Amino acid sequence: MIRYRIQELLAEKQFRDGRRVTLMELSEATGISRVTLSKMINQRGYSTLTDHLNRLCRYFNCRLEDLAEYVPDEELKT
């Protein structure tokens, strides 16, 4: 399963900027709906568009491997 690291990246950005960054702000900056961002964060195995991944990488100024990681299904069962 693919796990998105959006919460971790938001926390890092908040620390760097010294202020809170909301999902609504992220939504407005990327053009990705808040509902979609919430699903990416909270719903296991959520499938999204590559365009969304591109927009998030641009916003966080990161690489795809910083945004998402592969977690084997066996690790989820423990």
Say whether 3 sits in a helix, a strand or coil. strand
> CA geometry: angle at 31 spanning 29 and 33, to 5°?
110
Fold of 2-72: 434 Repressor (Amino-terminal Domain) (1.10.260)
Mean pLDDT value of segment 8-16: 96
Domain ranges of the chain: 2-72
| pLDDT tens digits for range 24-77 | 999 999 999 999 999 999 998 899 999 999 999 999 999 999 999 998 887 656
Q: Which residues touch 59 (CB under 8 Å, ≥6 apart)?
A: 26, 29, 30
